[in-house]
Amino acid sequence: MINPQSTTSKGAIGVFDSGYGGLTILEKIREAMPEYDYIYLGDNARTPYGTRSFEVVYEFTLQAVEKLFELGCPLVILACNTASAKALRSIQQINLPQLDASRRVLGVIRPTAECAGELTQSQHIGILATSGTIKSESYILEIHKLFPNITVTGEACPMWVPLVENNEYNSKGADYFIEKHINRLLEKDPLIDTFILGCTHYPLLMEKIKQFTPPHIRIVAQGEYVAHSLKDYLNRHTDMDERCTKNGTCRFLTTESKNKFEESASIFLQQKDIKVESIALE
Ligand code: DGL
Tens of pLDDT, residues 162-181: 999 888 999 999 999 999 99
Assess whether pLDDT exceeds 90 at residue 273: no
Whether the CB of 222 sits within 6 Å of ligand 1 = no
pLDDT, mean over the chain: 95
For residues 123-138, give the mean pLDDT: 96
More confident residue, 6 or 122: 122
Assess whether pLDDT exceeds 60 at residue 1: no
In order of their start, the domains of the chain are: 13-108+224-278 (3.40.50.1860), 110-221 (3.40.50.1860)
Question: Distance from the CA of 229 to the center of ligand 1, in angstroms?
Answer: 20
Q: Based on the residue annotation, tell me whether 115 is a catalytic residue of this protein.
A: no
Whether the CB of 44 sits within 6 Å of ligand 1 = no
Of the residues 16, 17, 139, which should be mutated to test ligand 1's pocket, given the most ligand atoms within 8 Å of the CB? 17
pTM for this structure?
Answer: 0.95
- pLDDT category at 4 given cuts 50, 70, 90 is very low
More confident residue, 56 or 260: 56
Of all protein residues, whose CA lies closest to atom 6 belonging to ligand 1?
48
Q: Based on the residue annotation, tell me whether 199 is a catalytic residue of this protein.
A: yes
Question: Distance from the CA of 161 to the center of ligand 1, in angstroms?
Answer: 7
- pLDDT category at 3 given cuts 50, 70, 90 is low
Whether the CB of 49 sits within 6 Å of ligand 1 = yes
The total of other beta-carbon atoms located within 10 Å of residue 6's CB is: 19
Of all protein residues, whose CA lies closest to atom 7 belonging to ligand 1?
48
How many residues are there in the chain?
282
Assess whether pLDDT exceeds 50 at residue 140: yes
For residues 95-124, give the mean pLDDT: 96
Assess whether pLDDT exceeds 90 at residue 268: no
Q: Which of 73, 199, 244, 250 is catalytic?
A: 199
The total of other beta-carbon atoms located within 10 Å of residue 257's CB is: 13
Residue 251: predicted pLDDT: 97
